[in-house]
Homo-oligomer: A and B are copies of this chain.
């Protein structure tokens, strides 16, 4: 059931007289797994009044059925089979005997599934928490306390509340007035009571009428690993094959990036069940994300990385290589440098083209910006002198080699920390690429403040400004990832008090990003202060959960030349930066119409810089990372 280039598709059986035959049917039609009842309904058991204990016959098929033919015990059970819990189980019944009997049945079926080593157990969640409190307790008990519990629990949830669908065609009732809760609420409450257990997975049952866009998008922030598509949802095209409506196609496209699996359920309404598979596989292959960022980022989806600290640590050769590959960033820098050179030439009218313009590249790395500056100079035939300052001695080696082999004396290599260097002359243009995913988070402001004394009064800094952005995010995936980062000897909250660089995939954007902190260069304030404080107010469109904030930046390199990773203005095909994620320690339940009021601080002392963040509304959440106790960026 691993994700491959073909869609992973399963076939749902409502009853299984002969399991081997089922597997054969599924297999010849290209389905990779089957969903079958764990126990035949005829074997409904009775524990409370003693009949189950007294019965002598077996209560379900033996676990050796699959193995006799293939000589590999259990192997099929744990790759091919998802087990369905009996639908008559009703542990929240108000009739004590029914509840008690259901509990025994449930425990027995789960024990069987564990014994067989199934990949997953699945059941339908019907209704709000009130009706499922005992179910939640028993499932959570099994998950929390069974150490060898390998199976996932697929919680089947309809995309639309069946009650809403039932009322849809009735004119005597106004659906909006009925306040029918969304099935997402069922899921949200259920998993909260199960303490966000990672093994709880959503299997969405695709409905005929789809909910509106926002509701579908909200599922993108949940651990949806399976779409269950009833055969009745398919329509027949002109040539007689099953296809999906445009709306359904678009919905499925959204989930393709979450690497979902599919399950076809219901009686075949077309010539051959393989057609459903073919169609799903066709959609899947069409919609595999395939942009340069996607292929670059493959495997990094929702993976938490600690932000780089290039100021404190020297980057490795491989890291340089990755970033130098960016097809966009250095082109933009080159355009910016070119424009700046032209402007300087125009401004100083007395300068003829033979006078040299001085450029300093601070933090030159292995030279991509030096190359950009050289290219720009050549292109507009402007004589330049380029200082390349780099503190990493290993990178300096590369620079020196390039200088000797290619650049010649136009370029002067300086092996020094830019903050300690004493420049022999002032520069016309100061170029740097010190920006992190959150703009200032690699301490570009502090570094550039330190070197701006070498910039002429009318000199130009590239970049000349940058702004960070934040947006509220729902992502139970990321919440769970951060929760799993707990380290024993650190402050118990420290994993929630640091930002992570992450290629977001499984998330729902609660509201659009808003600007947070802006820095300008050169900074001509009398007393430079790079601490910042920002308060943002976001709107909540529908009930959802806040798990943290996504962070982005954009930068003005020079005049209209900008680079951005803010989603609405993202520089096409630029891949140097993934966004950043600021988690919060406790998920906050949000209601449609709520305001989220967030507070972010950028704090500085002589040795380090750090962020603190907190929430004021809808409910207050404690200040994260006070005094930088969990994460700082060293100067």
Contact = CB atoms under 8 A, between A and B. Distances in A.
A584 to B, nearest CB: 12
Contacts of A594: none
Contacts of A601: 137
Contacts of A413: none
A100 interface: yes
Interface in A121-158: 129-130, 133-134, 136-137, 140-141, 144-145
B100 A144 contact: no
Given A486-B492, A586-B586, A614 B133 contact: yes
Interface in A264-315: none
B586 A626 contact: no
Given A137-B626, A626-B140, A626-B145, A129 B620 contact: yes
Contact of A623 (B193, B535, B620): B193
A378 interface: no
Nearest to A613: B137
Contacts of A130: 597, 616
Contacts of A420: none
A599 interface: yes
A75 interface: no
A121 B256 CA distance: 58
A1 interface: no
B137 A614 contact: yes
A127 to B, nearest CB: 13
A195 interface: yes
Interface in A190-222: 192-196
Contact of A629 (B134, B144, B193, B622): B144
Nearest to A627: B145
Nearest to A196: B622
A380 interface: no
A144 B589 CA distance: 27
A612 B137 CA distance: 9
A163 interface: no
A529 B101 CA distance: 13
Contact of A141 (B136, B137, B626): B626
Contacts of A137: 599, 601, 612, 614, 623, 626
A627 B589 contact: no
Given A133-B614, A629-B145, A623 B586 contact: no
Chain A interface mostly helix, strand, loop or mixed? Answer: mixed
Contact of A133 (B134, B527, B535, B586): B535
Which of A134, A196, A616 has its CB near the most chain B CB atoms (within 10 A)?
A616
A620 B612 CA distance: 28
A311 to B, nearest CB: 23
A488 interface: yes
Contacts of A136: 614, 623
Which of A136, A189, A626 has its CB near the most chain B CB atoms (within 10 A)?
A626
A619 B141 contact: no
Given A100-B529, A134-B533, A599-B133, A623 B140 contact: yes
Given A145-B627, A626-B144, A129 B194 contact: no
A48 interface: yes
A123 to B, nearest CB: 18
Contact of A622 (B194, B533, B589, B619): B194
A328 interface: no
Given A130-B616, A137-B626, A616-B129, A192 B144 contact: no
B529 A620 contact: no
B492 A627 contact: no
Contacts of A134: 533
A621 interface: yes
Contacts of A533: 134
Interface in A587-618: 589, 597, 599, 601, 612, 614, 616
B622 A192 contact: yes
Given A130-B616, A492-B486, A195 B623 contact: yes
Contact of A627 (B141, B189, B194): B141
Contacts of A133: 535, 599, 614, 616
Contacts of A189: 616, 620
A612 B140 CA distance: 11
B586 A192 contact: no
Contacts of A619: 192, 589
A144 B626 CA distance: 7
Nearest to A628: B145
Interface string A529-566: 10001010000000000000000000000000000000
A192 B626 contact: no
A196 B144 CA distance: 29
A595 to B, nearest CB: 11
Contacts of A586: 586
Given A492-B492, A627-B144, A195 B622 contact: yes
A602 to B, nearest CB: 12
Contacts of A488: 488
6 contacts: A130-B616, A133-B616, A134-B533, A136-B623, A144-B627, A589-B619
In the A-B complex, the 8 residue pairs with the closest CB atoms: A145-B627, A195-B622, A144-B626, A192-B620, A189-B620, A141-B626, A141-B627, A193-B620
